[in-house]
Amino acid sequence: MRYELYYWPTIQGRGEFVRLALEAAGADYVDVARLPKSKGGGTSALMTSIDDPDTKRPPFAPPYLKAGKLIISHTANILQFLGPRLGLIPADVTSREWAHQLQLTITDLLVEVHDTHHPIASSLYYQQQKREARRRTLHFIGERVPKYLDYFERVLRANTKGKGKPHAIGRTLSYVDLSVFQVIAGLRYAFPRTLRRLEPDYPGLVALHEHVVTYPNVSAYLSSKRRIPFNEYGIFRHYPELDRP
Amino acid sequence: MRYELYYWPTIQGRGEFVRLALEAAGADYVDVARLPKSKGGGTSALMTSIDDPDTKRPPFAPPYLKAGKLIISHTANILQFLGPRLGLIPADVTSREWAHQLQLTITDLLVEVHDTHHPIASSLYYQQQKREARRRTLHFIGERVPKYLDYFERVLRANTKGKGKPHAIGRTLSYVDLSVFQVIAGLRYAFPRTLRRLEPDYPGLVALHEHVVTYPNVSAYLSSKRRIPFNEYGIFRHYPELDRP
């Protein structure tokens, strides 16, 4: 099956968690809005799709995935759907259930990352809410980042018990591993000072990040033009003035 | 099966979406932290449970549900699990998939509601972030509430097509109906002026709210002591100074 991903074409954002899964599995997919306009792509294709009054079960927001007649929205839900189909989650129900919980925790973290630079409104520019962003980010890097990293380090240790390759679930690469990789990469980009200070406490997460890159499909993707660089339009943004304890 | 719900004992919060489903279905459940301490309840029971180092797959935060040996966390995920077991979702896979998407959209809305009074940090009191709360709420009630209500009104109309009882999915009561009910109830409590102004545009949602209350199990629950009143510790809080366009 050829999957169609609908997401903003100029940022990693939430769509990147889906892109990473599709790429790691070597899936057949189209990143619709990244196609040229002449081939039915561009942001306008995305907007036309999301506003289509004929859609019976409309998504609230990107990212969403079209898989045949099905439309699946919400990042964690898309990954719950794709995981077994792409071989990115162990086959048993308990692992799948657990993976979804972990992914939903990442969803929560992403909202908090976004709101470091947009604590007042998504409809305003960062520059219009810098004061509040500074205040919110102080709490985020002081309290929330350690809380989330503690949690995922604990999950990783409970799974690996100090032996074998670092995986969040089971003994093989899962979409949760890919998402944790992306979280670490994003936090390093957005808050490099903070991460340099914190990383010694999270050897498992650092090892997982390193291990994920060794998968040939992943490394090929990361060095391709398909991987949009981090920038100041996405969720993880580097504003040096925010990255200070 | 007797379900065990773990959630804060003094607020509706996210746990209320699970309580409503359990109550509407007449399920056998224990609201663990609301039991007296002498019977293993109280906030301390919740904290002991969540910090238990022996838990193999620990939840990140309440609410979570114990169902036999399974621990299921995240409100939308708990409802995805309970829906078919409690008869609160049509049997087909498409309906279940769609219900989860709608519930995840409600999850996103709830974060935004919470952040109207806590735009800077959950670890601070509202009084310590009132200025930012006022600014954030202006955007929330001006832009975000209409966006979410537009969406759910559209979903409702597409499902009912102007005929029959108001349901978000199918022809029977689902956990999504119960959650939409709770959202309307919460928004009315927190932002009564705003809702009075907006409600004429959302006849479907108003009808759904009215219809949900006609289910005997729901109305019995709402008038029981098990229904914790809205208060200024939960997600939906009424601060009159915020409810002004």
CB-nearest partner of B120 from A72, A98, A135: A135
- Min Cα separation B227/chain A (Å): 27
Residues B24 and B217 sit within 8 Å (Cβ to Cβ) = yes
| Per-residue b or e along B74-93, where b marks 16 or more CB atoms closer than 10 Å to that residue's CB | bbbbbbbbbbeebbbbbeee
pLDDT tops 80 at residue A41: yes
In tens, the pLDDT along A53-77 reads 888 899 999 999 999 999 999 999 9
Q: CA of A130: which chain B residue's CA is closest?
A: B132
Locate the domains of chain B by residue range: 93-215
More confident of the two residues B53 and B153: B153
CA of A44: how far to CAs of A8, A31, B133, in Å? 10, 13, 34
Decide if B57 and A101 are in contact by the 8 Å CB cutoff.
Answer: yes
CB contact under 8 A, A151 and B58: yes
Q: Does a cis peptide bond (omega within 30 degrees of 0) precede residue A9?
A: no
Least Cα distance to B235 among B61, B13, B74, B9 occurs for: B13
Q: Is the pTM of this model over 0.90?
A: yes
Instruction: Say if B76 is an interface residue toward chain A (CB within 8 Å).
Output: yes
Instruction: Please tell me which residue of chain B has the smallest CA distance to A62.
Output: B105
- CA nearest A131 in B: which residue? B132
Report how far residue A94's alpha carbon sits from residue A171's, in angstroms, rounded to the nearest whole number. Answer: 14
Return all residues near B214 (Cβ < 8 A) that are at least 6 apart: none
Q: What is the pLDDT of residues A87-99, one digit of tens each?
A: 999 989 999 999 9
b/e for B1-29, b at 16 or more Cβ within 10 A? eebbbbbbbebbbbbbbbbbbbbbbebeb
Q: Do A139 and B155 touch (CB under 8 A)?
A: no
Residue A50 has pLDDT above 80, yes or no: yes
Query: Average per-residue pLDDT in chain A?
Result: 96
What percent of chain B shows pLDDT beyond 70?
100
Return the CA Rg of chain B.
18
Mean local confidence (pLDDT), A149-177: 95
Percent of chain A with pLDDT over 70: 100
Please give the sequence-ordered ranges of beta strands (E in DSSP) within chain A, or none if there are none. Answer: 3-6, 29-31, 64-67, 70-73
Residue tagged 């506003």 (tokens): A51
Average pLDDT of span B180-193: 98
Omega before B36 cis (within 30°)? no
Per-residue pLDDT for A164 more than 80? yes
* pLDDT tier, B245 (very low <50, low <70, confident <90, very high otherwise): confident
Looking at the predicted structure, is the pLDDT value of residue B54 above 90?
Answer: no
Q: Does A4 touch chain B (CB under 8 A)?
A: no
CA angle A50, A56, A62 (to 5 degrees): 25
| Range with the poorest average pLDDT among B35-49, B134-148, B179-193 | B35-49
Q: Which residue has the higher pLDDT, A201 or A51?
A: A201
Answer yes or no: CATH 3.40.640.10 is held by domain A93-215: no
For residue B85, the distance in angstroms to the closest alpha carbon of chain A comes to: 15
Of the candidates A60, A74, A135, the beta carbon closest to that of B151 is on: A60
Work out the pLDDT band at A81, boundaries 50, 70, 90.
Answer: very high
* Model pLDDT, residue A245: 72
For residue B140, the chain A residues in CB contact (below 8 A) are 121
Q: Which residue of A has its CA nearest to B62?
A: A105
Residues 6 or more apart whose Cβ sits within 8 Å of residue A1: A28, A67, A68
Looking at the complex, does the CB of residue B161 fall below 8 Å from at least one CB of chain A?
Answer: no
pLDDT digits (tens, 9 = 90+) for B69-116: 999 999 999 999 999 999 999 989 999 999 999 999 999 999 999 999
Cα(B113)–Cα(B125) distance, rounded to whole angstroms? Answer: 16
Architecture, CATH, for domain A3-86 = 3-Layer(aba) Sandwich (3.40)
d(CA B16, CA A113): 26
Instruction: State the pairing for strand pair B3-6/B29-31.
Output: parallel
Report residue B244's pLDDT band, with 50, 70 and 90 as the boundaries: confident
Q: Is A65 left (phi over 0), alpha (psi -120 to 50) or beta?
A: beta
Does B106 contact chain A (CB < 8 Å)? no
Answer for the pair B218, B25: CB distance below 8 angstroms, yes or no.
no
